[in-house]
């Protein structure tokens, strides 16, 4: 198979971790007889420096014409005045919102899985972890508060800011269908998270999700308020299979879920549109404080590449090979600094990439 992949290294540690993911993909191509062709484009702070905007039309066009997009991370230190002392639509993260909208990537899939080897890195007590946990957070990505109308104005001599949270039933239905479809391939359980005791948007969310659930009688549906879900994630994470939620709640809960796995550096994600096209990226940020120091954990990006093979290219065997290689490296005791524990062997970004590629 020949696949055209647009890579967006981005800012901070982005170029380092994307480099290692491509190294692993190249090994997969060699072993399984595929051809992966890469086209690198700029997005985020590096695009602002080069072009004055976080995402150019040319970069978006290249992404649209590819088979999939592999993204590192965008943004930097908010103290970087050249990137943040500007209008919100010109900041690095605006490029991320723009490419999601421009590619219609409405479904964000974030697995949160606790590797047995990393149980010591999990901040939760052993009695809470139990036999571990394996969940998927399905986050709606192109609607809600982040994409609603917003403005700041002076009213009666006082500055007032307004952000609008809007969802329509079609936006809710399509993400719910994705969530139930994934649940059918897992443990057949969906917990839909909202704030229906307060928000009209959440009451509509609950209504539409219940309608979709009727088409999946094998799947158990439960509703959970977002504040309760935040507590339950640290009290009993093993209860979750597929968590379905809107944009802002999903942003917060997926980061919480990532940290209880031991390190945010371990969590991949996929953002999909109506077709098989997707953008794949680690759940963590750009970590500018460790950029260029060979300290970054590339595993989340490597696992994101595995998700790309699985969801966009139907290469399940190859995706399994990457995931198995990551498991082998961890079982052998290799760790980047963020997941290091006593008795293990500390390695840097480059060596971790080499070790995973060698085990494909």
Q: Considering only CA atoms, give the Rg of the chain.
A: 20
**How far is residue 281's CA from residue 71's CA, in Å, rounded to a whole number?**
5
Q: Check 115, 146, 167, 311 and give the catalytic one.
A: 146
Q: Would you put residue 343 in left (φ > 0), alpha (ψ -120 to 50) or beta?
A: left
**How far is residue 181's CA from residue 171's CA, in Å, rounded to a whole number?**
16
Q: Is 227 a catalytic residue?
A: yes
Q: Check 11, 178, 195, 241 and give the catalytic one.
A: 195
Q: Would you put residue 60 in left (φ > 0), alpha (ψ -120 to 50) or beta?
A: alpha
Q: Check 49, 163, 215, 227 and give the catalytic one.
A: 227
Q: Check 67, 194, 251, 338 and give the catalytic one.
A: 251
Q: Is 146 a catalytic residue?
A: yes
Residue with tokens 């190294």: 23
Q: Check 26, 77, 134, 255 and give the catalytic one.
A: 255
Q: What is the 3-class SS of the chain, one letter each residue?
A: CEEEEEEEEECCCHHHHHHHHHHHHHHHHHHHCCEEEEEECCCCHHHHHHHCCCCCHHHHHHHHCCCEEEEEECCCCCCCHHHHCCCHHHCHHHHHHHHHHHCCCCEEEEEEECCHHHHHHCCCCHHHHCCCCEEEEEEECCCHHHHCCEEEEEECCEEEEEECCCCCHHHHHHHHHHHHHHHHCCCCEEEEEECCCCCHHHHHHHHHHHHHHCCCCCCEEEEEEHHHHHHHHHHCHHHCCEEEECHHHHHHHHHHHHHCCCCHHHCEEEEECCCCCEEEEECCCCCHHHCCCCCCCCHHHHHHHHHHHHHCCCCHHHHHHHHHHHHHHHHCCEECHHHCCCCCEECCHHHHHHHHHHCC
Q: Is 84 a catalytic residue?
A: no
For residues 189 and 134, is the Cβ–Cβ distance under 8 A? no
Q: Is 85 a catalytic residue?
A: no
Q: Is 251 a catalytic residue?
A: yes
Report the catalytic residues: 146, 195, 227, 251, 255
């Amino acid at each position: 198979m020949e696949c055209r992949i647009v890579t967006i290294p981005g800012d901070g540690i982005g170029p380092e971790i994307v480099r290692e993911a491509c190294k692993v993909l190249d090994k997969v191509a060699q072993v399984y007889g595929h051809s992966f062709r890469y086209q690198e484009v700029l997005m985020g702070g590096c695009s602002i420096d080069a072009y004055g905007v976080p995402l150019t039309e040319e970069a978006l066009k290249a992404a649209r014409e590819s088979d999939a997009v592999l993204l590192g991370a965008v943004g930097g230190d908010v103290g970087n005045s050249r990137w943040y002392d500007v209008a919100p639509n010109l900041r690095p993260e605006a490029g991320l919102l723009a490419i999601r909208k421009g590619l219609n990537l409405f479904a964000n899939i974030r697995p949160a899985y606790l590797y047995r080897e990393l149980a010591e890195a999990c901040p939760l007590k052993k009695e809470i972890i139990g036999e571990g946990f394996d969940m998927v957070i399905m986050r709606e990505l192109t609607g809600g508060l982040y994409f609603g109308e917003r403005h700041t104005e002076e009213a009666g001599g006082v500055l007032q800011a307004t952000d609008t949270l809007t969802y329509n039933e079609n936006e809710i239905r399509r993400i719910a269908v994705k969530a139930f479809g994934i649940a059918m391939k897992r443990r057949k359980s969906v917990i839909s998270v909202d704030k229906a005791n307060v928000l009209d948007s959440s009451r509509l969310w609950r209504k539409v999700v219940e309608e979709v659930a009727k088409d999946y009688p094998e799947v158990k549906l439960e509703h959970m308020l977002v504040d309760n879900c935040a507590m339950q994630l640290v009290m009993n994470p093993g209860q979750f299979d597929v968590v379905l939620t809107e944009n802002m709640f999903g942003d917060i809960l997926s980061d919480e879920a990532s940290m209880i796995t031991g390190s945010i550096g371990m969590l991949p994600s996929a953002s999909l549109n109506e077709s098989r096209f997707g953008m794949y990226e680690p759940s963590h940020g750009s970590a500018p404080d460790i950029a260029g120091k060979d300290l970054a954990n590339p595993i989340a990006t490597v696992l994101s590449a595995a998700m790309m093979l699985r969801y966009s290219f139907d290469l399940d065997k190859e995706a399994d090979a990457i995931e198995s290689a990551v498991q082998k490296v961890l079982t052998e005791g290799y760790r980047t600094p963020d997941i290091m524990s006593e008795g293990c062997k500390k390695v840097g970004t480059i060596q971790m990439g080499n070790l995973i590629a060698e085990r494909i």
